[in-house]
Amino acid sequence: MNPIANNVALALSFFLCISFFPLLNAMPDITKTCEKVKHKELCIGSFQESYLGRYLPDNANPKLLASIIIKIVVNNASDVSRNLKTTVLEGPVPLTPEVRAKYGICDQEVVSAMKELDKVRTAMEMSNRRSEKLNMQAAVTNTENCVKELTQVEAQLPDKKQFDEVVVLKEMLENIDDIIKTLG
């Protein structure tokens, strides 16, 4: 390797390393919080993979972590909803009326879950613990309903990946619910 390539590789490694320092500093708080949830690996992975999780302050508390993971999940839910709509409108194969209806119901449930998450965020800002818990449970129920709808037609789904995305979304919401329960 020539000297210029070595310097570029060294600089790239240095900047890559620096970009992970904020996440590494916050990792003990993330790990401690994620130890209390049902889907631990998904919880930690959500922070590591998201640009939002990379810029946590060193003293990130569970409430801050919950609000950040809510933002991560809302972004994920938007993608899931868009993928469901795209499959119905432009899917690789024509869908039966039953499958089309299940996708529609599932999409409505995902959109409802996003609305509930917005209510959770507002309740957190107002320190309204009761509303946080009720709206969070409603969001989890919405995604559970979506999973149930797709499970009924799972053999007919054109893309198993979408079903998996909905399941991951449900698990992420369960994690937020667990974090909120630890807040007191």
pLDDT tens, N- to C-terminus, the chain (184 residues): 444 433 333 333 333 333 333 444 445 567 787 888 888 788 877 777 766 666 666 667 778 878 888 888 898 899 999 999 988 888 778 889 999 999 999 999 999 999 999 999 999 999 999 999 999 999 999 999 999 999 999 888 888 888 999 999 999 999 889 888 887 6
- Give me the domain span that covers residue 60: 3-182
Q: Which amino acid is at 137?
A: Q
Domain count, the chain: 1
Token look-up 């998904």 returns 42
Please answer whether residues 108 and 58 qualify as being in contact, where contact means their C-beta atoms are separated by less than 8 angstroms.
no
- What SS3 class is residue 54? helix
Which CATH number does the domain housing residue 62 bear? 1.20.140.40
Report the C-alpha gap between 127 and 115 in whole angstroms. Answer: 18
| Packing angle, helices 160-182 and 40-49, rounded to 10 | 100
Q: Which amino acid is at 117?
A: L
